[in-house]
Amino acid sequence: MSGESIRLRRLRRTSALRAMVNETALRPADLIMPIFVAAGADRCEPLASIPGVNLLAGASLAREAEAIARAGVPAVLLFGVLDDAGKDAAASQAVRPGNAVCEAIGRIRNQRPELTVIADLCLCEYTDHRHCGILREGRIDNDATVAVLAEAAVVLARAGADIIAPSGVMDGAVAALRRALDAAGMSHVALMPYSAKFASGFYGPFKAASQSTPQESHHATHQIQVGNIREALRKIAVDVAEGADMVIVKPALTSLDVLALARDTVPVPLAGYDVSGFHAMLARHCGTDEALRRELTREVLTCIRRAGAKMIITYSAKDIAPHL
């Protein structure tokens, strides 16, 4: 056919045609809303570093769960924020039944039983030195850390978590968590590790919000260096072999190539994490222009899905879901 008879604009002419040929739908069902939870009867404190996101406890947490479910978002991802007084070198709060995160899980379960509750699991929120694991001679001890994570996973599962999301990128964590959960009669609880988690400066606002910034970072010893896609794919494969039910790629926007490759080679559902640094940048760029923020958010999330993510973890989930 000659150049004049091939006209791609024919399928762009009406919104009905554009909808018919749309390849990448964005639906509320794909979204996961992160929330920061603390101990207490009622707390709702804006997190200065993550615009629009609050630290929640008690009645306010229940209200937020209600709002999230009403917006059509089916899942939440929980992060515990502890007072310094509760932190120690052994991360002992992480394995205490009834800790702040367990309490929060109960609240959400109670308020909206149909919400899928995903519990993030890393020791940086529980250690007084704020590293992501148990230290031995100043270094993160992989196996000692994994042992604590396995115990903590059972505590979270017993509190009602549907999915545990180990985020510290330790070796053998998925296998150990699977074994511990099964032994505790929790074989129905799924594992969603942060497998392709790159060492990134874009977690900055999150680290500030969760008060888990260590004095001297050891992240390069467990998170993946940003240039290494083969290593990221290998870690995904290892975690899947160990029993991961789903895997997270993060930060999503700087890992679209990883998502694109993983989509065709990884046999489990993929989640992309639209991280705090990008959320903060977008919020700053848009200021008070809500419509612009929605438009840009939709574009960003669509591109994360186009690259290969089935699910998207985003601080915008609750805001954008009713507009999809």
Asked whether 157 and 186 are in contact (CB, 8 A), the reply is: yes
Residue 316 makes contact with ligand PBG by CB under 6 A: no
Residue 280 makes contact with ligand PBG by CB under 6 A: no
> For ligand PBG, which stretch binds (CB under 6 A), given 37-45, 88-96, 199-207, 302-310?
199-207
CB neighbour list of residue 108: distance below 8 Å, 6 or more residues apart: 61, 62, 65, 76, 78, 115, 117
Residue 71 makes contact with ligand PBG by CB under 6 A: no
- Interface residues for Zn ion in 79-138 (CB under 5 A)? 122, 124, 132
Residue 60 makes contact with ligand PBG by CB under 6 A: no
Residue 173 makes contact with Zn ion by CB under 5 A: no
- The span from the CA of 215 to the CA of 230, in Å, is 30
Among 47, 56, 91, 124, binds ligand PBG (CB under 6 A): 124
197 is catalytic: yes
Is 18 or 139 the residue whose CB approaches ligand PBG more closely?
Answer: 139
Is 80 or 160 the residue whose CB approaches ligand PBG more closely?
Answer: 80
Is 75 or 170 the residue whose CB approaches Zn ion more closely?
Answer: 170
Residues 87, 197, 235, 318: which is the catalytic one? 197
Residues binding ligand PBG (CB under 6 A):
120, 122, 124, 167, 203, 206-207, 275-276
